[in-house]
């Protein structure tokens, strides 16, 4: 599947010379998206908070002849989001595409087992980076009178054992709809891709890492809850398999490109029919 998608991308230049900021680009869907947008002609700003994974993605892009720049930043703060957009703007003079990919569940367990602090940590990881990055990039895109924002949602909004994460992703769906209505007059499109279960073979940053070098403790029965969650997701699917990061990146690239020039406020369910 990966080679087929890459081959298709190699023949397309829908994002030629577009400046594309991809958050969480060090691994998984973010890294696959950076590669795909680069294959389609984009110049990529690799945004991540982990130097090792960001450097790996930048090297892959440069080895493929893609112009790329790494920005190491904590997008859990508005100051971090502002720094990212400022550095991208200073380097390239504009921002054409923003992919808000940062997020990911920390714990998988029934909601009553979460502590107050754990709920806050889930929201901080999976909602605030998208809120802050949109807030930081919109004035830039308004001056350009153009731009495409693609947010990464999730099918967790109809699943088990990730209620705080699902609430974050539900918030992203609402944010997408509202921003599309508010900023369409400025030539800015805002859409979401909502992945289902996706295998991440290149994971460098563990799910339980709540900040660089700091690991959270997992819950008792964690593996049992994970298996039940995965089974529930699979039972809802038409295709009965997990997706790949490249499949998610293909949907993101479409929404980022001018092929989707009359599409805004939409969410693509990229979950194998969940």
The model's pLDDT over 159-190, given as tens digits with 9 standing for 90+, comes to 888 999 999 999 999 999 999 999 999 999 99
Report the distance separating Cα 62 and Cα 54, nearest Å.
12
Helix pair angle (163-183, 128-144), 10° resolution = 10
Residues 6+ apart with CB under 8 A from 130: 100, 102, 103, 151, 172, 175
Question: Among all residues, which ones are annotated catalytic?
Answer: 165
Q: Where are the domains of the chain?
A: 2-270
Report the distance separating Cα 133 and Cα 144, nearest Å.
17
- 16: exposed, middle or buried (C-beta count within 10 Å: 0-12, 13-18, 19+)? exposed
**Residue in this structure with the two tokens 């594309």, named with its chain if needed:** 20
State residue 99 phi and psi, 5-degree precision: -110, 115
**Residue in this structure with the two tokens 């992203």, named with its chain if needed:** 172
CATH architecture of the region 2-270: 3-Layer(aba) Sandwich (3.40)
pLDDT exceeds cutoff 90 at 2: no
Our measurement of the distance from residue 253's CA atom to the centroid of its chain's CA atoms, rounded to an integer in Å, reads: 12
pLDDT exceeds cutoff 80 at 132: yes
**pTM confidence score:** 0.89
Residue-wise burial string across 244-273, b where 16 or more C-beta atoms lie within 10 A, e elsewhere? bbbbbbbbbbbbbbeebeeebeebbebbbe
pLDDT exceeds cutoff 60 at 78: yes
Averaged pLDDT, 217-231: 76
* 7 confidence band (pLDDT: 50, 70, 90): very low
pLDDT tens digits for range 192-208: 999 988 887 777 676 66
Which of 30, 32, 73 has the alpha carbon at shortest distance from 50? 73
């Amino acid at each position: 599947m990966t080679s087929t998608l890459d081959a298709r991308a190699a023949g397309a230049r829908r994002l030629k010379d577009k400046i594309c900021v991809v958050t969480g680009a060090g691994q998984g869907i973010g890294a696959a998206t950076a590669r795909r947008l680069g294959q389609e002609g984009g110049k990529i700003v690799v945004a991540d908070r982990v130097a090792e994974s960001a450097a790996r993605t930048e090297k892959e892009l440069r080895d493929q002849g893609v112009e790329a720049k790494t920005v190491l930043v904590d997008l859990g703060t508005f100051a971090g989001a502002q720094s990212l957009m400022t550095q991208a703007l200073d380097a390239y003079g504009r921002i054409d595409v923003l992919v808000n990919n940062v997020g990911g569940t920390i714990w998988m367990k029934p909601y009553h087992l979460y502590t107050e602090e754990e709920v806050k940590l889930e929201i901080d990881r999976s909602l605030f980076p998208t809120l802050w990055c949109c807030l930081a990039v919109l004035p830039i895109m308004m001056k350009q009178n153009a731009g495409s924002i693609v947010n990464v949602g999730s099918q967790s909004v109809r699943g088990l054992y990730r209620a705080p994460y699902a609430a974050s992703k539900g918030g992203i769906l609402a944010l997408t709809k509202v921003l599309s209505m508010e900023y369409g007059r400025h030539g800015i499109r805002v859409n979401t891709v909502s992945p289902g279960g996706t295998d991440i073979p290149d994971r460098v940053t563990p799910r339980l890492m709540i900040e660089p070098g700091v690991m959270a403790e997992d819950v008792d029965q964690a593996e049992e809850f994970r298996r039940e969650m995965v089974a529930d997701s699979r039972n809802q699917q038409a295709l009965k398999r997990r997706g790949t990061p490249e499949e998610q990146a293909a949907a993101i690239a479409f929404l980022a490109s001018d092929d989707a020039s009359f599409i805004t406020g939409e969410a693509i369910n990229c979950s194998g029919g969940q």
